[in-house]
Amino acid sequence: MSIFVDETTKVVYQGLTGSQGRYYGGLNRDYGTQVVAGTNPRKVGTDVDGVPVFATVGDAVEATGATASCIFIPAPGVHDAVIEAAEGGVEFIVAITEGVPAHDEARFYNRLKRDFPGVQMLGPNCPGIISPGRCNIGITAGHIALPGGPVGIVSRSGTLTYQALYELKEKGIGCTTCVGIGGDPVPGTSFIDCLEAFEADPDTKAVMMIGEIGGTAEEEAAVFIRDHMTKPVSAYVAGVTAPPGKKMGHAGAIVSGGKGTADAKMEALREAGVRVGLNPTEAGELMAEIVATL
Amino acid sequence: MDIHEYQAKSLLAEYGVPIPVGGLAYSPEQATYRATEIGGSSWVVKAQVHTGGRGKVGGIRMCSSEQEVWSAADDLFGTRLVTDQTGERGRGVFRLYIEQTVDIDREIYLGFVLDRSTERIMLVASAAGGMEIEQIIDEEPDSLIRVVIEPAVGLQAFQAREVAFALGLDRGVVAEASNLLLAAYLAFRDLDATMVEINPLVVTGDGRMLALDAKMAFDDNALFKHQKVSELRDKSQEDPREMRANDRGLSYVGLDGDIGCIINGAGLAMATMDMIKHSGGEPANFLDIGGGASPERVAKAFNLVRSDESVSAILVNIFAGINRCDWVAEGVVKAMHELDIQVPVIVRLSGTNVEEGRRILTESDVSLITAETLAEAAEKAVAAVNREDAA
């Protein structure tokens, strides 16, 4: 089993005809993902390497039964693309695009919550989601993940997600699903959404969580873990050395007014019973210890 | 992006927020001229710098004659204000804002932010204005009024009135206050601001409301929508190295250490800095060269990092997911050849085609220290710096 996506997930790529969409859509298909459609109102009726292109997500859903959408649209068009996907009838929306205005994110996040409670949004500014061996939506290199289980991964950082997958693979540990929730201030999917899904997934026996400075998402996750998780969790929080008031690459990675420091987040996680590593390698080793005792 | 107080006030005024009469000056002569223009017998001379807390370090001067205005301006121009928010370098004073003084009856705090916990817009107000918000949270937490605004609906007039009543304002100014709140909210929303802070918002002795100080920050990702706002950027307030890097599409933050970092991905960059610290060293910078680490980007990054004179070793850490290590390795070798790097360079590659990448590094004629893991790379970088120091 896996969370959110598996081999039955049919994906429509918004922006499939662009260079990024074509490249990663192709890689996702090669991995085994059911890439069933693309959209581009100006290229209706054409195809990209055999994948049919439709005018809208609604048309694509009607013709192919797509259940998920992956957005490779430039940032100014993401707000529109998200609402189009939800109106079009998909249940899961992955927005890879970086640089989406925060006010746009707040607007579509709240619109989805109110009008489309059944739709799960992931991103924007995220690497996507991979259920190794079953489905890969986004820009994660499929070969760095070992299929199976028992570990589920959720991370705010793309490269650290890869690092985590890779280190687990090196140790021979598989992954049920790896979710990159992205580093923006208003992420569609939160740590808690993923922790809740992993807790409910019978094949996931332990969860590795990678956070970073800024906001309070890790602290909120710690409360959830303490109150609701029976499965063991290991974690790493990046940015112990980050200076206050500076944005560290990601729009949401900033320590402001003394809030959102890595130390405070790690402490909150430790108090919730999470095994916290001081670097990603150590978090991987802690996870290996956890897996050995399962 | 941050802007100056006078710019924030001017934007807010366009939306209908009342502000005191004031004018901008680039020299002491202009400052006295502005004072004459404004009229009256007392003025405030305010340094325009991108930081809070300037009042505590002499950045705001009360003057009761034009001669005093001249002296205050002469004293401030060209200095650097160091506040608890700026770091050691401080911010240069190149513009002054001269304002009429205001007879203050009450001081209020008003702010709008995008709240990450509720994923909505939050209005924060307090009757304990004039203090920094952090201080209000610590010392007067009960005075805080928070209103969550659904972004698709916007601030409603009844919510604005509720805030005005909760602040204990006189009935006479409630309508004016709620109009001001609605105007400030519209400026926040329409201009894609990440923060609007009016502190203090004052009620004057004759019962008017005025934004006495104002701060606005904008979402860099939304500047494409707002040409007028992006033109307000003041590069004199930015760190020169960060500005150069950001203008070249690299995400860079300068730090005080001596180990230069070239890394792909924000998370991995932070993790590498943490690892250096953990191994007893100090990183000289945060640098994310992005997902597509092409040879050109690697070369740009080397150029940037070595421009920092305190750098005595460079650590390159690339995790190739979609990238290929062999390609990155070629970029590193090319950069080393072309740029004549004199400090030790430690390279750790991981991920796709790592064997081929390592082969390219070891067979090249450039002098490199290679590492297999993040921990090993950090330890070797720290050791290299210590050797340099000893030599």
Active-site annotation holds for B252: no
Please report how many Cα atoms fall inside a 13 Å half-sphere around the Cα of residue B298, on the Cβ side.
Answer: 25
Which chain B residues are within 8 Å of A107, Cβ to Cβ? 151-152
Which chain B residues are within 8 Å of A238, Cβ to Cβ? 267, 270-271, 274
Which chain A residues are within 8 Å of B220, Cβ to Cβ? 251
Q: Are A279 and B119 in contact (CB < 8 Å)?
A: no
Distance CA A120, CA A179 (A): 13
Whole-prediction pTM = 0.91
Residue of B330, B367, B372 whose CA lies nearest to B350: B372
Q: Are B274 and A241 in contact (CB < 8 Å)?
A: yes
Of B222, B263, B275, the CB nearest to A101: B222
- In sequence order, the 6+-apart residues with CB closer than 8 A to the CB of B122 are B112, B113, B114, B115, B146, B147, B148, B149
Of A27, A107, A166, the CB nearest to B151: A107
By CA distance, what is B255's nearest residue in A? A243
Q: Are A253 and B222 in contact (CB < 8 Å)?
A: no
pLDDT digits 0-9 by tens, B320-360: 766 678 888 888 888 888 888 889 999 998 877 888 888 99
Cα distances (Å, whole numbers) of residue A7 to A44, A222, B223: 27, 31, 40
In this structure, are B254 and B338 located in the same domain?
A: yes
Across B245-257, b (16+ Cβ under 10 Å) vs e yields: beeeebbbbbbeb
Residue entry with tokens 């990159």: A180
How does DSSP assign B290-338, residue by residue? -S---HHHHHHHHHHHHTSTT--EEEEEEEESSS-HHHHHHHHHHHHHH
**CATH number, position B162:** 3.30.470.20
Please report how many Cα atoms fall inside a 13 Å half-sphere around the Cα of residue A139, on the Cβ side.
Answer: 26
Of A159, A216, A238, the CB nearest to B319: A159
In this structure, are B73 and B165 located in the same domain?
A: no
Distance CA B126, CA B337 (A): 60
In this structure, are B224 and B76 located in the same domain?
A: no
Segment 132-161 of chain A within 8 Å of chain B by CB: 139-141, 143-144, 155-161
Distance CA B263, CA B320 (A): 11
Distance CA A242, CA A248 (A): 7
Q: Strand (E) positions, B175-326?
A: 193-204, 209-211, 214-218, 251-254, 259-263, 285-288, 313-320
Which chain A residues are within 8 Å of B249, Cβ to Cβ? none
In this structure, are B284 and B360 located in the same domain?
A: yes
Distance CA B95, CA B48 (A): 5
Query: Which pLDDT score is estimated for B292?
Result: 63
Q: Are A103 and B267 in contact (CB < 8 Å)?
A: no
- In sequence order, the 6+-apart residues with CB closer than 8 A to the CB of B370 are B346, B347, B348, B358, B361, B362
Range of the domain at B171: 1-19+103-237
Tokens found for residue B3: 């802007």
In this structure, are B2 and B136 located in the same domain?
A: yes
Query: Which pLDDT score is estimated for B290?
Result: 75
Cα dihedral B351/B353/B249/B194 (nearest 10): -20
Please state whether beta strands A10-14 and A34-39 pair in parallel, antiparallel, or not at all (unpaired).
parallel
**CATH number, position B85:** 3.30.1490.20
CB atoms within 10 A of CB A177: 28
Distance CA A241, CA B222 (A): 28
Distance CA B216, CA B233 (A): 12
How many beta-carbon pairs below 8 A join chains A and B? 175
CB atoms within 10 A of CB B219: 25
Residue of A39, A69, A65, A61 whose CA lies nearest to A51: A39
In this structure, are B249 and B361 located in the same domain?
A: yes
Please state whether beta strands A68-71 and A92-95 pair in parallel, antiparallel, or not at all (unpaired).
parallel
Tokens found for residue B91: 């911010």
Distance CA A170, CA B34 (A): 69
In this structure, are B254 and B207 located in the same domain?
A: no
Residue of B99, B123, B108 whose CA lies nearest to B176: B108
In this structure, are B300 and B353 located in the same domain?
A: yes
Question: Which of B44, B66, B101 is where one domain is finished?
Answer: B101
In this structure, are B2 and B112 located in the same domain?
A: yes
Distance CA B373, CA B274 (A): 14
Of A155, A157, A245, the CB nearest to B85: A245
The total of structural domains in chain B comes to 3
Q: Are A248 and B286 in contact (CB < 8 Å)?
A: yes
pLDDT by position in tens, chain B (length 391)? 999 999 999 999 999 999 999 999 999 999 999 999 999 999 999 999 999 889 999 999 999 999 999 999 999 999 999 988 887 789 999 999 999 999 999 999 999 999 988 899 999 999 998 888 888 888 988 999 999 999 989 999 999 999 999 999 999 999 999 999 999 999 999 999 999 999 999 999 999 999 999 999 999 999 999 999 999 999 999 988 888 888 877 889 988 899 999 998 889 999 999 999 999 999 999 998 876 667 778 888 898 998 888 999 999 998 876 667 888 888 888 888 888 888 999 999 887 788 888 899 989 888 899 998 888 999 999 999 998 777 6
Give phi and psi for B27, each to the nearest 5. Answer: -155, 160
In this structure, are B305 and B263 located in the same domain?
A: yes
Query: Which pLDDT score is estimated for B388?
Result: 76
What is the CA angle B294-B300-B302, rounded to 5? 105
Query: Which pLDDT score is estimated for B291?
Result: 62
Segment 211-270 of chain A within 8 Å of chain B by CB: 212-213, 215-217, 220, 236, 238-243, 245-253, 257-258, 262
In this structure, are B219 and B300 located in the same domain?
A: no
In this structure, are B125 and B181 located in the same domain?
A: yes
Active-site annotation holds for A250: yes
Distance CA B143, CA B146 (A): 10
Question: Which of B71, B101, B131 is where one domain is finished?
Answer: B101
pLDDT-flagged residues of chain A (< 70): 257
**CATH number, position B273:** 3.40.50.261
Distance CA B255, CA A243 (A): 8
Across A24-57, b (16+ Cβ under 10 Å) vs e yields: bbbbbbebebbbbbbbbeeeeeeebeebbbbebb
pLDDT digits 0-9 by tens, B129-143: 888 888 888 898 899
